[in-house]
Chains A and B, each alone.
Chain A
């Protein structure tokens, strides 16, 4: 492969003599610097002549950057997560497609992101098994592997929906959901390897962080079919904030149970009743009782363009949104541009995958009159995303978690878009 200085030769630029690499690089950089200076002078000259503007920033007039070992996005791109100390929110309204870049995947942790040496990390599987066993990360990578796309959504996502409508955008309202391609070994493969006993019906999954976070997982047929112990995310190792080096993946289940920094699986005959599934992540109802083990994230959709705190002009807009369901595939998304009086089918964008964000699109011309736009979706079980009113009618306003009511955006006469309840 040619070095950058060799590639430049044909362009009449200063060519370093074949020397050591470091000398070549120095000369190349010196040559680049003089070229930039020359380019600037040339630009000034041509501008003074009133001819074509030979902009010094014209990327066709100067050599580009050399290759680098680990890529970064363009210096012009500045989209970030909105972060607090214990969580950060994905800027869904700024993203394309369905995959969340690993650097923008939302975070939630309960006493910081641990630094774990993968060589020292171990996964212990014990309890109601024939053979309590310990696996290294390298050993887990040697098991038959699986990869799949799946969303992970914190059950506290969209929780502002229970309250009065604040002036919030998509990221602030719904940024606790993200999609990655996850790679790992099926949980059932590991449970076969340790000889899961027939009477085992629940499994404690525990992390190696400073919260030693633990959750009870029901060992249903669906869980055994879907669950994975993952080491890969979007083609590389898990990010530290996503559980490096190991996390549990329970596609469609609330984020908290997808235990990160996974170090222990213990099989038993009953739920372990950890703090996270009793005092937290339970849904308080108006009668004072609380739903418990509400693990599946029910279907939800949101319009991300146009959306909160954006401003649009009259004319054509492609309404863009995301829909997802923890129970399976999205089968339909509908859009209303008249505050819910009429609904029209939106086009689902391939790929449409089970327990994964699905994109939808709806062409629309805004006539400049104030209106409210909304979306709703249905999944393959026939479940239809509810209105906020019907959700609150059953669950009240104090359940904190699992809000999936229809999101409404009001478009004002001046084109500003705001979060409202209808």
Chain B
């Protein structure tokens, strides 16, 4: 046996011996690394703000389109325009029946599939210059005003945790799960 082969064999034996205790340690630990700590209910609550299409996560409170008009005018109109169609930010109103045309408008009324998403997004991220500054009542009210402007709910409708999830959005069935690859082979 050559010297190099002897060395290799020796190294393999040493590595084999070493790997026993290492392997044993790893198996004993499993996936418990002893890192992190239990989250408490008071620290989960303020971050747990997502609202699902079922309405899960909606807070107590209520608001009407009439009330929403006042909030929108004061806090939203400077970016979205007086009626939600002007301004530098997204157009929020109108655009119904434009999705198949050459000038599609993706607005709350024409495109958004869930009213709960509207509440969720305003609540977490609006107004742009003061996110999370609106009360739950104000978020319900602005949501109601936008849905009314889009002709989806009546002016006197009141939104709360029970009524908001039942709002039927016009484009609710407008989405299909990713079908790609969707092109014929070249």
Contacts and interface: CB of A to CB of B under 8 A. Distances in A.
Interface string A71-103: 000000000000000000000000000000000
A268 B33 CA distance: 24
Contact of B174 (A288, A295, A395): A288
A284 B183 contact: no
B109 to A, nearest CB: 11
A356 to B, nearest CB: 20
A212 B39 contact: no
- Closest 5 A-B residue pairs measured CB to CB? A288-B100, A288-B99, A275-B121, A132-B39, A192-B31
A134 B39 contact: yes
A139 interface: yes
B174 to A, nearest CB: 5
A270 interface: yes
A126 interface: yes
Given A279-B106, A294-B178, A390-B184, A134 B43 contact: yes
Contacts of A139: 35-36
Given A133-B36, A142-B35, A270 B52 contact: yes
Contacts of A131: 38
Interface stretch (A28-36, A37-45, A166-174, A381-389): A381-389
Q: Say which size band chain A's interface belongs to.
A: 35 or more
B120 interface: yes
Given A142-B33, A193-B32, A387-B186, A274 B50 contact: yes
23 contacts: A124-B47, A133-B36, A133-B38, A133-B39, A134-B36, A136-B36, A143-B33, A192-B31, A204-B50, A264-B47, A266-B50, A275-B120, A278-B113, A278-B117, A291-B177, A291-B178, A291-B180, A291-B182, A293-B177, A296-B178, A298-B180, A386-B186, A390-B183
Nearest to B181: A383
A279 B177 contact: no
B104 A398 contact: yes
A342 B87 CA distance: 49
A291 B114 contact: no
A228 B10 CA distance: 38
Interface stretch (B11-19, B62-70, B71-79, B124-132): B124-132
B39 A290 contact: no
